[in-house]
Amino acid sequence: MDLGFVFSAVGVGFISDVFNANIAIQAVAWISLASGIVVLLLMKETKKN
């Protein structure tokens, strides 16, 4: 079971309830962007073709 899906769904639902759906969608977009930047900067390719 992947708890990331559970926590993110609950978190986005909470943000949507407290603020509104537009803010929740923007939060998901910013978190996705930040995740992509972290992966780009920190992850290294281990297998060279």
Within-domain flag for 49: no
pLDDT of residue 17: 95
Within-domain flag for 16: yes
pLDDT of residue 48: 76
Mean pLDDT of residues grouped by 10 in the chain (49 residues)? Answer: 83 93 93 94 84
Q: What is the DSSP letter of 37?
A: H
CB–CB of 24/16 below 8 Å? yes
Within-domain flag for 36: yes
Within-domain flag for 47: no
Rounded CA-CA distance 8/28 in Å is: 9
User: Which residue type does 22 have?
Assistant: N
**Structural domains counted in the chain:** 1
pLDDT of residue 44: 87
